[in-house]
C-alpha cells in the first residue's frame, strides 16, 4: 500500500502520517516498507532459495536491486553485529 492510500485509510494527510510514523518508529514509512521487504527476502535467502527467485518473489525489480538492498541493510558498518540474517 502506498503512503497516500494509508493516509486516506486513517483519515490523515500524507504529511501528518509521515510525521507521526517517524516520531513513533524513528523511521519513515518508505524505510519501514523496505525493511519488511528485505526481511522477507533475507528469510528466503537463508533458507537456500536462489537470489534471482528471491528477488522476484520479494518484489525487487531484479537481482542487482536485491543485492543493493542487502548491502544497504546488512553491509553497513553501523549495523554490524546486530543485523544478522535470521536462520530459523
Q: Give the tens place of pLDDT for each residue, 37-83.
A: 999 999 999 999 999 999 999 999 999 999 999 888 887 433 344 34
The cell for 88 is 530459523
Q: What is the pLDDT of residues 16-27, one digit of tens each?
A: 999 999 999 999
For the domain bounded by 3-79, which CATH number is listed? 1.10.10.60
Q: What angle do CA 62, 42, 4 make, to 5 degrees?
A: 65
Q: How far is the C-alpha of 12 from the C-alpha of 18, rounded, in Å?
A: 10
Q: Enumerate the domain spans of the chain.
A: 3-79
Q: Could you tell me which residues come within 8 angstroms of residue 57 by beta carbon, excluding any fewer than 6 positions away?
A: 44, 49
| Residue 26 pLDDT | 95
Helices assigned H by DSSP within the chain? 3-10, 14-25, 29-46, 51-58, 63-74
Amino acid at each position: 500500500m502506498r503512503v497516500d492510500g494509508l493516509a486516506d485509510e486513517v483519515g490523515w494527510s500524507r504529511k501528518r502520517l509521515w510525521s507521526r510514523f517517524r516520531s513513533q518508529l524513528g523511521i519513515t514509512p518508505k524505510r519501514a516498507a523496505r525493511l519488511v521487504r528485505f526481511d522477507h527476502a533475507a528469510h528466503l535467502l537463508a533458507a537456500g532459495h536462489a537470489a534471482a527467485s528471491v528477488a522476484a518473489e520479494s518484489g525487487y525489480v531484479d537481482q542487482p536491486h536485491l543485492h543493493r538492498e542487502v548491502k544497504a541493510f546488512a553491509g553497513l558498518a553501523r549495523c554490524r553485529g546486530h543485523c544478522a540474517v535470521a536462520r530459523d
